[in-house]
Amino acid sequence: MSTVTSLYDEQSAASVSRTRRARPGKRHSPEPRRSPYLFVAPAVVLFVAVFLVPLGYTVYLSTQKTQVMGLGLGANARKQVSAGFSNYTTVLHDGEFWQSVLRALLYGCILIPVMLGLAVLFALILDAQRVRFQRFGRIAIFLPYAVPTLIGSIIWGMMYLPAFSPINSTLNELFGISGINFFGQHIVFLSVANIGVWGGTGFNMMVLYTALRSLPQEAYEAARLDGANERQISLRIKLPMIRPAVIMTAIFSTIATLQVFNEPYAMHQISYGGVSSTWTPLMTIYRDTYTANDVYLGSAESIVIALLMFVLSVAVLRLTNRQIFGGEAKS
């Protein structure tokens, strides 16, 4: 019996020894450590290739300039040399560039409140308890966003032309108002902002409507049991609970304000001078880069616009000072 016991103990000890020898190999296996990096790698590669590399190259071009050698004849007469911060100095002292920035900000002051106000209103209406044709309403409101921006801008531009405008004829028949110049010095802001409202309200409405549909229904039922009507539920329960989504759409709209290009560019083509070629910052960059063939100045203007968009985004977060994405927007 003792012999059997000793043999069993020896086998158990050998098994434990083999297990201990095998454990270090498994513990130091590189596969579990590499797996997260393998999943993240495609996103990192795309971020570097699509964002960081073009950004770095743009910063590099913004510090360069073309130097003409000799008489400036032939392809070898021009040479790219370092310009330091001279391009940025030119941008900061360019009054036409800053006028385009002011026009874009004024355009945003008209566009953002109207567009987000309508988006919130439509989202609340579609999320109401007793509303007919909800599916048709969602599609009808979202449909303008599905139309390419340039095509929608051309359509609206044709409607603004006095010779083709049904708007002028309708206003003349109903109210006796005629001869409105939609490309006038001041009304052109409303004309361009109207295109942005028409095309962007549906997208923001869907974002806010999705946020509303994710809210717990128990809060609505408890409010109705307390005697609250739909208007009170919308203003006192729904709006405070979707505040992060409203802030998110406001930030995206603020960023898009300085990036507006298609709408005023289409108006520039058909407005007979009502919208200049430098009406917005991106139009100014487009002119300097492709029409004036100064890619270095255009690169410096692009970096300045990117910094302005960053500052505006931070300013929006500081002004709201609310929770967003589950955290605090710290000032």
**Do 226 and 142 belong together in one domain?**
yes
**Do 315 and 201 belong together in one domain?**
yes
Transcribe 167-229 into DSSP letters.
HHHHHHHHH------TTSTTHHHHHHHHHHHHHHHHHHHHHHHHHHHTS-HHHHHHHHHTT--
Kindly report the CA angle at 252 between 113 and 300, in degrees rounded to 5? 115
When computed from its CA atoms, the radius of gyration of the chain, rounded to whole angstroms, is: 30
* Domain closes at, from 33, 59, 85: 59
Transcribe 109-129 into DSSP letters.
HHHHHHHHHHHHHHHHHHTSS
Report if residue 72 sits inside a domain: no
Report if residue 77 sits inside a domain: no
* β-strand pairing of 64-68 with 323-324: unpaired
For the segment 289-324, what is each residue's pLDDT rounded down to a tens digit?
998 888 999 999 999 999 998 898 888 777 776 544
* Domain closes at, from 59, 78, 102: 59
**Do 103 and 8 belong together in one domain?**
no
8 A C-beta contact, residue 103 and residue 280 = yes
Long-range CB contact pairs, 157-164, < 8 A, 24+: 157/266, 157/267, 157/269, 157/270, 157/271, 158/270, 160/191, 160/267, 160/271, 161/270
Enter the DSSP assignment of 65: E
Neighbours of 285 (CB within 10 A): 23
Report if residue 141 sits inside a domain: yes
**Do 36 and 102 belong together in one domain?**
no
**Do 168 and 217 belong together in one domain?**
yes
Cα–Cα distances (Å) from 80 to 48, 77, 101, 222, in that order, read: 26, 10, 29, 70
Report if residue 64 sits inside a domain: no
CA 158 to chain centre: 27
**Do 219 and 128 belong together in one domain?**
yes
Report if residue 67 sits inside a domain: no
In 3D, which of 190, 195, 201, 92 has the Cα closest to residue 138? Answer: 201
Report if residue 78 sits inside a domain: no
**Do 42 and 121 belong together in one domain?**
no
Predicted local distance difference test score (pLDDT) of residue 330: 43
* Domain closes at, from 59, 77, 107: 59
**Do 45 and 118 belong together in one domain?**
no
Report if residue 66 sits inside a domain: no
With a threshold of 0.75, does the pTM exceed it? yes
Predicted local distance difference test score (pLDDT) of residue 328: 45
CA 283 to chain centre: 18
Classify residue 72 as left (phi > 0), alpha (psi -120 to 50) or beta: left
Enter the DSSP assignment of 75: G
Q: What is the CATH number for 140?
A: 1.10.3720.10
Mapping DSSP onto H, E and C, the string for 50-64 reads HHHHHHHHHHHHHCE
List per-residue pLDDT tens for the chain, 331 residues long: 444 445 445 555 555 455 555 454 445 555 567 788 888 899 999 999 999 999 999 999 999 888 877 655 555 667 888 888 999 999 999 999 999 999 999 999 999 999 999 999 999 888 877 777 778 888 889 999 999 988 999 889 888 887 777 887 787 777 777 777 888 878 889 999 999 999 999 999 999 999 988 888 887 788 788 777 878 888 888 888 888 888 889 888 888 888 899 999 988 888 777 888 899 999 999 999 998 888 999 999 999 999 998 898 888 777 776 544 444 444 3
**Do 129 and 49 belong together in one domain?**
no
- DSSP 3-state of 81: strand
Whole-angstrom Cα distance, residue 268 to residue 266?
Answer: 5
Enter the DSSP assignment of 83: -
Q: Which domain holds residue 49?
A: 2-59
**Do 276 and 127 belong together in one domain?**
yes
Q: How many domains does the chain have?
A: 2
**Do 11 and 156 belong together in one domain?**
no
Report if residue 307 sits inside a domain: yes
**Do 309 and 218 belong together in one domain?**
yes
For the segment 194-234, what is each residue's pLDDT rounded down to a tens digit?
999 999 999 999 999 999 888 888 877 887 887 778 788 88
